[in-house]
Structure 1
């Protein structure tokens, strides 16, 4: 349990700024992600702390998750609803350390206590989601890729702020071995829990059994947690590994070794493109991104093929819509006056079956269809010849004439 003392109360020293109690010591601190994590500072060397970047006020620092601290002094009042933390049922023999050990054992996927902890990590409309990217993947998103595959709640990973720390979340197979001193990420707000799934249970058992030769990135444990000796992080996937429509105000981020968050681009839904936000000081962070000019202020994505679309109903007619959570869904329109809140909203996508394997249809070119496997396993990969493009994401080309059960599906969202 974390004790939080508002800034207006506490001792005189506590009112002087934000301080956090960690491992029995009180440290000056800076809040990260609205209190999901903290950067702690120390003038003297402390076990577990690392040297701060040159020019910093304090010589030593450490990033910690809110669950690692015991008290927060001088915090400001929250401006929005906090995300639900991981909760552990009271247990006589098990603490967080024992649960972390269980989370790394595929055989423990059915453990009731572990499952209860995993179920406490929930997604709601507006939850900030994060997907860690390589430089190549960042370039893909700037040119029109959509959120898909493995991802995480920002609340659970906010303490990972350096390329070395974030390597555990990468799914491209490099995992920090590509020689870059910067990590990249996509952050967006969830349209709702309907768009996500947890990679546990019988439906994902084939994914956990894929051999190393058929996958990229770390193995999928089947417990719903990231494979890591040090981190206890719940992981999610987009449902059926589908693309999700890019919501308004999504951001592409960079995290250099200094541990700061740099906003590179913000998504402009009405203009269908990314607006560069990064200034000259950090523009060198884009140098490693293939095919991207750091001097280009706006990158349109309107011509990029899209496998999914958000549609909404307003006044009896159907329109393309955009998610702007937690404010809901609205008509996608260039003029502000026409951005009406919709009466109903749904995510539209195309499903098909090829050689008995359920797939998503991503795009069509000259009679051939680009497919993504909904439930990857060794048999499906062998049958379709699908290639792994990132952790859990398998794609293949198929002749259009060979597809069966080809259909367009609308998956509705609750609209108040």
Structure 2
């Protein structure tokens, strides 16, 4: 049997949260509060300074996860959650699971307990995912193919981390600017696109030394390294690139806890469209290399990974809008004709007896990424850690062995259908 742990939950695209204030109970005290992130978290208010509260206007505030409070509004139900669960057994509670989750050298019994709890944190069609970005990663995202890869999280699990200081724990590409943090948000197309960061899935990452890493280590327990939070980690399957879904967003978080949508991806026109108005111009200006005042950033969606489907008897590029299906990737209005057999494809190969992903080509050289990084493969390929868990290098085209197209078939219809 399992009990629901009062943290962490899976979330599909949430309904709009109430905008007004309500009363909640947190740590046996009553507070005024405002639901945020579709009910996944609360901003709570106090007239006096308390531990963890920060000044705001004429009072003080802080952010807490919805699972930590008692509310008459049932925000967890409104958010559509399935909370993380732990087995019902003597000696197993949230504190125990958290302690074991932070130790990469736990024994088989402890690892079985952590794995059982981790398995209850899952992704479904439409789950809102989020990946922290540095300023330089934001610039690259706006000027490269609409893809995402690497370590990420469900938005629900990190909804209470609203300030740049709080979000440092999530960073996979540490940034020297601490006054603003950035993130990419999108919807999951299918559960098969994501893996837990447990050692069973990425055995070599646990033993990678600090000199070969960016960001915090991968513990191999499936949870984020943190002394205070129990947050499940995900990685894109095999560290492959995933196509971004319609209306993916680039977000900014400010010291007062505001979340601002800076850019939104519009696949039908192949652009990132600036959403932030003039009063947020300073946030956009913190992104290096961007032309001042520029509102549109065109992308090339057909680079080394993509999404295709059958449409009117032909195989064509398509775009995904989880919850609304797939549509033909073309300028203008979406076609009324349905898309069938949606598939994601990417290129895999072997180089120096190591499995790699082929990402892009520059004449006789190919940029490759290690799909199962460990210290031996990192040394053999001289790969560089470009962000947490991601190791890339350039390889001579002629040395790649067995290049092949890997195809993932997506279900087209029921969200519960299997790949």
Asked whether the 8 Å contact 1:173–1:218 carries over to 2, the reply is no
2:14 corresponds to: none
CA distance in 1 between partners of 2:411 and 2:107 (Å): 31
Moved more, 293-302 or 223-232: 293-302
Instruction: Say whether the 8 Å CA contact 2:40–2:75 is kept in structure 1.
Output: no
Offset at residue 66 of structure 1 (A): 1.7
Which position in structure 2 is the counterpart of 1:165? 166
**Equivalent of 1:188 in 175, 186, 189:** 186
Measure, in 2, the Cα distance between the counterparts of 1:189 and 1:233: 19
Task: Give the alignment of 1:2-401 within 5 angstroms.
Answer: 17-46=21-50, 48-53=51-56, 56=57, 59-69=59-69, 71-74=70-73, 82-108=80-106, 110=108, 111-145=111-145, 146-174=147-175, 178-302=176-300, 306-338=303-335, 340-401=337-398
Deviations 1:10-50 (A, max 9, x none): xxxxxx8422110011111111211111111111233x332
- The aligned counterpart of 2:15 is none
Confirm or deny: 8 A CA contact 2:132 2:182 kept in the other structure. yes
CA distance in 2, matches of 1:109, 1:284: 50
8 Å CA contact retained: 2:327, 2:334: no
Indicate conservation of the 8 Å contact 1:17/1:74, yes or no.
no
Q: Distance in 2 between matches of 1:78 and 1:266?
A: 28
Q: Deviations over 1:143-196 (max 9, x none)?
A: 12521000000010000000000001101134xxx1330000000000111111
Q: Is the 8 A contact 1:108 1:223 kept in 2?
A: no
- Contact persistence 2:268–2:333 (CA under 8 A): no
- Cα distance in 2 for partners of 1:17, 1:381 equals 52
Rounded Cα–Cα distance in structure 1 between residues aligned with 2:187 and 2:166: 23
Length-normalised TM-score, structure 1: 0.90
Residue-pair matches, total: 393
How much has 1:75 moved relative to structure 2? 5.8
* Cα offset, 1:207, TM superposition: 0.7
Question: CA shift at 1:76, angstroms?
Answer: 7.4
Structure 1 residues 410 and 248: alpha-carbon distance in aligned structure 2, compared to 1, 3 A threshold: same
Task: For 1:232 and 1:86, locate their aligned partners in 2 and report how far apart those are by CA, in whole Å.
Answer: 10
Q: Tell me, which stretches of 5 or more residues in structure 2 are unaligned?
A: 7-19, 414-419
Q: Is the 8 A contact 1:284 1:294 kept in 2?
A: no
Question: What secondary structure does 1:232 align onto?
Answer: coil
1:164 aligned counterpart, secondary structure: helix
* Structure 1 Cα separation of the partners of residues 346 and 277 of structure 2: 37
Other structure's SS at 2:105 match: helix
Q: Is the 8 A contact 1:128 1:153 kept in 2?
A: yes
